[in-house]
A and B are shown apart, each in its own frame.
Chain A
Amino acid sequence: MTKKFWRQGEPYVWATGLSLSLILMLTFLLVYVVMANGIGVFWPNRIALATLKDNSFVLGEIIQENIKPATGQKRLQFKIGNRDLYDLDFKWFNAEDIAAITYPPRAYLLERQEYGNFYGFLNQLELNGLARPDLNDKLEPLEAALKSIEPLQDEITALNSRIAEINQRIETIQRKQARLRHQGKAEDRQTGPLAARDQELQADFTKVVAELNRKKQELLQFEAVFADANGLIKRIPLVEIVRAIQPNTMNIFAKTGYYIERLRELFFAEPRESNTEGGLFPAIFGTIMLIFLMSVLSFPLGVIGGIYLREYAKDGILVRMVRIAVNNLAGIPSIVYGIFGLGFFVYGIGGQIDQLFFAERLPAPTFGTGGILWASLTLGLLTVPVVIVATEEALGAIPPGIREGSQALAATRFQTLTRLLLPMASPGILTGFILAMARAAGEVAPLMITGVVKLAPALPIDSSFPFLHLNRKFMHLGFHIYDIGFQSPNVEAAKPMVYVTTLLLILIVLIMTSTAIYLRNKMRARYSVIDV
């Protein structure tokens, strides 16, 4: 019997099972790591105050503890923040050096505009130059103080948008002047008024900037005086504080509220601190717009291609070649698409457009440089085969009897197609669309060449004419991961944000893919019934 066990090759069967378990474990590990590291990022941790044996103190979040491999000692990693004071955000301490760990309720966690988090204790508030001692260590006075500067901050925001508006106008006028110069009409009747308007705006601009600076100075008068764990005093202007919490006093509801607030920030706010803090709004917007533009190109072409292959082309050498071409398109590395996009769209078509329509701005390129239009066209080309294959499969799954029936009733091929085949195939085609969008959402390499940037100054859509700026550079979630994970100066501090971005991207892609799989399975079930 035992011999038979080996001779019949049962262990080999088990070995194939081993391969499958390894693959599945790998997949789950991958998803788990992203989830585990990404979900908890915004949950407020308790702030620990460690008293070291040399009577100094450490304040911060305990990130992890492990055994140091070299010595076998237990050690703890603290996120101590206060980058402006200590230079480092994270620090390891040996467990044996720590005398005690407490969680003081007074401890503050400040999210700041610059230098990352601050951990410390509030000493007093100075509002508009007047010192107000902080009496009860509660969050309320600080919160009230933060609220009190809000009107001033609103004024500054208004001034800032006014400056942007003036800038826009000046730019428009200067562009007009450049065009006149380029057309050789240096002495046109428009030049005089234009120059006058320009001067007027410039004067306006200086005035507003002066006003802005005054307000900013005024705002800096509102300060909070904090002390770190060892009593080192740090004055922080209130305007620098994005959010202040005392996590050690927060209950589960407060923490949930904070979590939701952070999520809101993630989805709707601009990034701060070279993308390692703040929100992802421009990246999410860029990704969605990219996918949308890509779809406009890729879907019609792909569907037409699929219909041609399945319904129109006569089986022969040509169809075989088209099939091979489609499969090749699907197999070409995305970076090759990227370089094609650069050579053909950006420098080829874009360069031509610049020479024809934007000659006055040359040598500064308008369309002759990477932009969202070129990136989405490149991605469109890249996803066409996905749509073709899906369309072809969906049409192929429709039993031939339906076509024959339709044609027997004297419908033309086109009528059969639009009235019967396409509606029936629509779930399958939709699956293809979703898969194509998922692919486009995750692709980064071709974008890096055709117009993605780490920080785009403006969204591709805004309120200034012509509203849709297809030549603008854009941000993208996938590139965001690459950029802050690999190009940022402080990778360790950037990691939470990378995990959050990764989680977001992977969720988007997984939801799309799962929907596609679900749709396809449903469709298969439907046609297998008809087929029988």
Chain B
Amino acid sequence: MQKMDKRFIKKVRLYDRIATRVISIGGLMIIASVIAILLLIIKVTLPLFQPASAEIIHRVVLPASQPLPLAVGVGDYQEIGFTLDSQGLFTFYTLADGKTLSKIFAVPDKKQPLISVSINKNNIYTLLWNDHSITSHSVDYRLEFDRNGKRTVVPKLTLTHEFPALAYPAVPRRVLVRQGEEQRLTVVALLADNSLWVSHRTITTDLFDNETTESFAFKIDENLPGLITAMTINEQGTALFAGTDAGSLIRWDLSKNESYVRTDNVIAVAGNQAVTALTMVFGDISIAVGDESGGLATWSRVWVGEENRVQKLRKIHSLKSHQAAISAIAPSRRSKSLVSLAANGDLHLDHMTSENHLLALRHNLKIFGIAGRDNSLIGLDPTNKLLVWNIDNPHPEISLKTLFGKVWYESYDQPEYAWQSSSGSDDFEAKFSIIPLLFGTIKGTLYAMIFAIPLAIFGAVYTSQFTTAAFKRGIKPAIEIMASVPSVVIGFLIALWLAPIIERTILGVLLSMIITPLSFLLAMLAIKPFYKTPNLKNRCAGYEFLLLIPFIVAGVSLAMAVAPIVEHYLFAGDFKQWLYDDLGMRYDQRNCIIIAFGLGIAVIPIIFSITEDAITNIPPSLTAASLALGASRWQTIWRVVLPSASPGIFAAVMIAFGRAVGETMIVLMATGNTPILDWSIFNGMRTLSANIAVEIPEAPFGGTLYRVLFLCATMLFALTFILNTGAEIVRERLRKKYGRY
């Protein structure tokens, strides 16, 4: 024997080792990729549930000589902060080194103290001077670049409105100024005699561009339940709110120039506690109410009553309470978040709609300010030190409750499950309830399974047990062809070809579901006599499905022919109208019947193939024994084969369920994609998968919608993972069990 070349053997062994390594790593990579897909999707989702975080980025010690500030503020770029003191002096600081950048008097020649300051939109400061004159100033930050491209932030103070001292009937305590859209400037002053003074200034422009300025003023002097302790007004200057020391919340309508109407007067705080702070939530629909005992709630007007529906102020959301009386509330200008400060110096950040308590800062603060972009907070602590926080709070509106629970959104009359991700307006609040999507997914899948499961299982039983081998060879590829039809084709056909046909003949379709079984019974009765001759019986065997086709066609045709007559006599000539009038169901062209067909076509081949496999794998000795004991061929199937194959069939159904749940194109094309909660078979739905396809092109990277869509994908993944793993375990058991035979 010739000895083999050592080097050759070495080489071969090396290749073998390398191959083993590579192939094993490849196999493990598959598990890794499943896990990686899951982890990545979850990783994108997770920030939704991360709590907000705040971190002190700057500390500035104020000079001891300076009088106590009335207000503090911080710029969007987190580089500049300022204080406003009781002399009307704005002092800007560079936060990084605590140096004074500039000192600007609000009104340079006014050497007098302020009575009060009110803040609007987080950057407009309305000052009430000692001589009762009013000025409004906005603080903005401008970016400037020098020749080397170095960026500097420059604060800018602009005088927006100025009012000379008005002839108030009593001493003003606080004032609010709002510029409405229709050229109306509204000033509301709270006077020392517990009355409110309202003055409007309107500018109208006539055809020739001549401006006329008109002024209106009136006093709201009603018998109020208690002393006014807080007040606020909306941006348009049309709705004025006041809170009293007896816990009342009063709303006046100021949309008319000459007069006012009291629209609401409710007890907002129980137990004779005072309302201590009021502010409008961003969007101007809700009002936040803070009280003496530290309670914080938002109220808004909702339609109540059955017959005479009227709008009433109702408490909508209760937010986390403080330990002490609330001294100030400031709304975010980006979301429905609120920052509230209590008398004990605690600062809370809450989100209204989700009722999420986002942050609590316990630094014994006196006053605070928010940056316009919501990214930083500034506060003054008792040691006369300015603290600046960087706020990281990307998804304040998301919590498990908003995703899966009923949420009371603004302008809704009750809490609801709602999905609405976008709208035209800026202050729109996106509504992310997963429930309608889950519901739609399950609804579509269930209807499809009701249609597909019996057809596919019985079809598979027939193919594997009753038909001839020649037919079997033809039928199985036909089913595989059906399985390979792309879902976009199915979706297109059922949406653009089938849906209009079914819409025209809906009653015929429903009738044929009754008439076709009847025609089947008729076929049975017709065939029965032939069974007396065994010869004919045997000749039929294997061809039953072909013999039945004429009966199906006849049944469906009869239903279509009868439908107009039935419609005329029973449904007053229009079934869809009858459906709407008598049952209150709307008929949509793209509905669940269509979806059942479409998803059915998609999943029938899956159930069929796996069931057929499961039945074929039943050892023939079982069926042979049953038949030998005198059981008929159906009895054998029903009592022996199906029970043995049931785990396999169960697995088939689970896998098909998984496919139907995740099917996208069919659902996207053939449902209206409206996220509704309605079991009616005559309307559509929106599924998780279609929702992803519809919304993802509009979702900015890293935004809330983007992450919520990843959450949808995670849920789909989890659903199919459970179904598939379950199915696989069942199938493996089956394989082991019958592998022994």
Where the two chains meet, the residues of A that have a C-beta atom closer than 8 Å to any C-beta of B are 1-2, 5, 8-27, 30-31, 33-34, 37, 69, 301, 304-305, 307-309, 311-313, 320-340, 342-344, 347-348, 381, 384, 388, 412-415, 417, 435, 438-439, 441-445, 448-449, 478-479, 481-482, 485-486, 491, 495, 498, 502, 505-506, 509-510, 512-514, 517
Residue among B23, B34, B477 with the highest chain A CB neighbour number at 10 A: B23
Can you spell out 14 A-B residue pairs with CB atoms less than 8 angstroms apart?
A: A5-B531, A9-B638, A11-B524, A19-B462, A24-B545, A26-B482, A30-B601, A301-B30, A324-B728, A325-B30, A478-B488, A479-B488, A485-B495, A510-B484
Question: Bound state CA distance, A481 and B487, in angstroms?
Answer: 11
Partner of A340, one of B41, B458, B548, B664: B41
Q: Is B316 part of the binding interface, using a Cβ–Cβ cutoff of 8 Å? A: no
- Residues on A with C-beta less than 8 A from B467 are 20
Q: Name the CB-closest residue of A to B473.
A: A521
Q: Is B326 part of the binding interface, using a Cβ–Cβ cutoff of 8 Å? A: no
Q: Is the CB of B662 within 8 A of A336?
A: yes
Q: Is B604 part of the binding interface, using a Cβ–Cβ cutoff of 8 Å? A: yes
Q: Is the CB of A5 within 8 A of B528?
A: yes
Other than the known A26-B482, A340-B41, what 7 A-B pairs have Cβ atoms closer than 8 Å?
A: A19-B457, A26-B601, A30-B490, A312-B23, A331-B658, A332-B721, A444-B486
Question: Bound state CA distance, A384 and B665, in angstroms?
Answer: 21
Q: Is the CB of B548 within 8 A of A482?
A: no
Q: Is the CB of A335 within 8 A of B689?
A: yes
Q: Is the CB of A339 within 8 A of B696?
A: yes
Q: Is the CB of A509 within 8 A of B663?
A: no
- Residues on A with C-beta less than 8 A from B16 are 412-415
Question: Bound state CA distance, A430 and B37, in angstroms?
Answer: 27
Q: Is the CB of A19 within 8 A of B458?
A: yes
Q: Is the CB of B669 within 8 A of A482?
A: yes
Q: Is the CB of A22 within 8 A of B484?
A: no
Interface residues of B in 458-493 (CB under 8 A from A): 458-459, 461-463, 466-467, 475, 477-482, 484-493
B696 CB to nearest A CB, Å: 5
Binding stretch for chain A, among B113-121, B578-586, B627-635: B627-635
- Residues on A with C-beta less than 8 A from B41 are 336, 339-340, 343
Residue among A333, A485, A486, A517 with the highest chain B CB neighbour number at 10 A: A333
Q: Is B509 part of the binding interface, using a Cβ–Cβ cutoff of 8 Å? A: no
Question: Bound state CA distance, A17 and B467, in angstroms?
Answer: 9
Partner of B552, one of A18, A328, A330, A506: A18
Q: Is the CB of B661 within 8 A of A333?
A: yes
Q: Is B659 part of the binding interface, using a Cβ–Cβ cutoff of 8 Å? A: yes
- Residues on B with C-beta less than 8 A from A23 are 455-456, 459, 479, 482, 604, 608
Question: Bound state CA distance, A378 and B523, in angstroms?
Answer: 51
Residue among B461, B634, B658, B721 with the highest chain A CB neighbour number at 10 A: B634
Question: Bound state CA distance, A441 and B664, in angstroms?
Answer: 16
Binding stretch for chain A, among B69-77, B343-351, B709-717: B709-717
Q: Is the CB of B524 within 8 A of A333?
A: no
Q: Is the CB of B717 within 8 A of A336?
A: yes
Interface residues of B in 1-52 (CB under 8 A from A): 12-13, 15-16, 19-20, 22-24, 26-31, 33-34, 37, 40-41, 44
Question: Bound state CA distance, A440 and B679, in angstroms?
Answer: 34
B722 CB to nearest A CB, Å: 10
- Residues on B with C-beta less than 8 A from A347 are 701
Q: Is the CB of A335 within 8 A of B466?
A: no
Partner of A20, one of B462, B669, B724: B462
Q: Is the CB of A517 within 8 A of B477?
A: yes
Q: Is the CB of B34 within 8 A of A325?
A: yes
Contacts A5-B528, A336-B717: A304 and B22 contacting too (C-beta < 8 A)? yes
- Residues on A with C-beta less than 8 A from B192 are none
Partner of A308, one of B23, B44, B655, B663: B23
Q: Is the CB of A481 within 8 A of B664?
A: no
Chain B 686-706, CB within 8 Å of chain A: the 1/0 string? 000100110011000100000
Contacts A336-B41, A445-B664: A329 and B552 contacting too (C-beta < 8 A)? no
- Residues on B with C-beta less than 8 A from A2 are 528
Question: Bound state CA distance, A486 and B665, in angstroms?
Answer: 12
B221 CB to nearest A CB, Å: 58
Question: Bound state CA distance, A95 and B545, in angstroms?
Answer: 41
Q: Is the CB of B27 within 8 A of A308?
A: yes
B630 CB to nearest A CB, Å: 10
Contacts A23-B459, A505-B486: A33 and B475 contacting too (C-beta < 8 A)? no
Q: Is the CB of A502 within 8 A of B489?
A: yes
Partner of B662, one of A320, A334, A502: A334
Residue among A14, A17, A312 with the highest chain B CB neighbour number at 10 A: A17
Q: Is B544 part of the binding interface, using a Cβ–Cβ cutoff of 8 Å? A: yes
Question: Bound state CA distance, A313 and B28, in angstroms?
Answer: 10
B198 CB to nearest A CB, Å: 49
Q: Is B310 part of the binding interface, using a Cβ–Cβ cutoff of 8 Å? A: no
Q: Is the CB of B552 within 8 A of A332?
A: no
- Residues on A with C-beta less than 8 A from B462 are 13, 16-17, 19-20
Q: Is the CB of B724 within 8 A of A327?
A: yes
Partner of B546, one of A21, A443, A479: A21
Q: Is the CB of B461 within 8 A of A478?
A: no
A432 CB to nearest B CB, Å: 14
